[in-house]
Structures are given as structure tokens and as C-alpha cells.
């Protein structure tokens, strides 16, 4: 899978940055942007794999409609990356297929 960066955010003076972790890699990203915008600007194409066919998927609508940007955030699966602002220290993981019901109910880790 290519890691080509689809978007980039020009550096601006005085912009406060936060540190997030995605699949073990650390990124500095502007405070206040969404998780989806942060990941799309750091070259990580697929956010999840589809439930039926296991195909790679990434954000399509960026406004809470399509649910293609679902990721696991701080241990909670099926979070909408486009609706969640980045926070310092946030740990994000890809969501492979469907989240387990157990993890959803307990708000705990995705057990895939």
C-alpha cells in the first residue's frame, strides 16, 4: 500500500501543535483539526478495511455522513475520525472490519 501523502498543511507561524500516535507512529499536527484531516495530511491512505470484503477505505465526505473514516481512538472502536478533533497524546489505530460488539459495549479495545 502506498504511503503517498494526499494532503498537506502549510506551516504557519504561531500555530499550536499537538502530538498524536497512529499505528505506533508519532505525528505533530495543528491543534483543532479533525483526526481524519490529520491522518490524510500525513500520508496514511486507508483508515480501515470494509466489513464484508476487507477492502481498504478512507474518508469520503468529511462531514459525518459516510462513516468511511471510522478508526479506533484511545481504545474505543468505530469513532468518526472526521467528527473528532485531535487531542495531545491521542492514540489512533486502523479499524479492521467490524468492531467487536464486546469492545463497543464496554468502550474498550477492539478485539481484532
Partner 1 sequence: MNTETTDLIVIGSGPAGMAAAAEARALGMSVCVLDEQRVIGGQIYRRIEDTPEALRMILGKDYAAGSALADEFRRSGADYRPGATVWNLSGDGVVDYVADGGSRTISATNVLIATGAMERPFPIPGWTLPGVMGAGAAQIMLKGADARPSGPVVLAGCGPLLYLLAWQYLRAGVQLAGLVDTTPFSAYVAALGKIQGAVRGRKDLIKGLGLVSQVRLARVPVYSGAKSLEILGRDMAEGIRFQHKGKSREIAAGLVLLHQGVVPNTQLSWSLRARHGWDAGQLCWTPVTDEVGRLGQTAVYVAGDSRGIVGAIASGVQGRLAALAMHERSGGKVPPGRRAVLERQLARHVSLRPFLDRLYRPLDEHRIPADDVIVCRCEEVTAGDLRSYVDLGCLGPNQAKSFGRCGMGPCQGRLCGLTVTEVIAAARKAAPEEVGYYRIRPPIKPIHLGSFS
Q: Are 72 and 109 in contact (CB under 8 A)?
A: yes
Residue entry with cell 484531516:
37
Closer residue to partner 1 (CB): 8 or 88:
8
Closer residue to partner 1 (CB): 65 or 91:
65
**By CB neighbour count within 10 A (0-12 exposed, 13-18 middle, 19+ buried), where does 35 fall?**
buried
Q: Is 10 in the site for partner 1 (CB under 8 A)?
A: yes
Contact residue for partner 1 among 19, 21, 25, 64 (CB under 8 A): 64
Query: What is the CB neighbour count within 10 angstroms for residue 72?
Result: 22
Whole-number minimum distance, CB 91 to partner 1, in Å?
A: 18
Contacts with partner 1, residue ranges (CB under 8 A): 1-2, 4-10, 12, 30, 33-34, 37-38, 40-41, 45-47, 50-53, 55-68, 70, 76, 78, 82-83, 85, 104-105, 107
Amino acid at each position: 500500500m502506498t504511503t503517498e501523502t494526499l494532503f498537506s498543511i502549510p506551516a504557519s507561524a504561531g500555530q499550536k501543535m499537538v502530538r498524536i500516535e497512529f499505528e505506533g507512529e508519532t505525528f505533530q499536527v495543528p491543534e483543532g483539526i479533525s483526526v481524519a484531516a490529520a491522518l490524510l495530511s500525513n500520508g496514511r491512505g486507508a483508515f480501515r478495511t470494509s466489513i464484508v470484503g476487507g477492502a481498504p477505505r478512507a474518508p469520503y465526505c468529511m462531514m459525518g455522513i459516510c462513516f468511511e473514516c471510522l478508526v479506533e481512538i484511545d481504545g474505543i472502536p468505530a469513532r468518526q475520525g472526521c467528527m473528532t478533533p485531535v487531542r495531545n497524546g491521542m492514540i489512533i489505530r486502523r479499524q479492521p472490519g467490524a468492531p467487536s460488539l464486546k469492545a463497543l459495549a464496554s468502550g474498550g479495545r477492539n478485539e481484532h
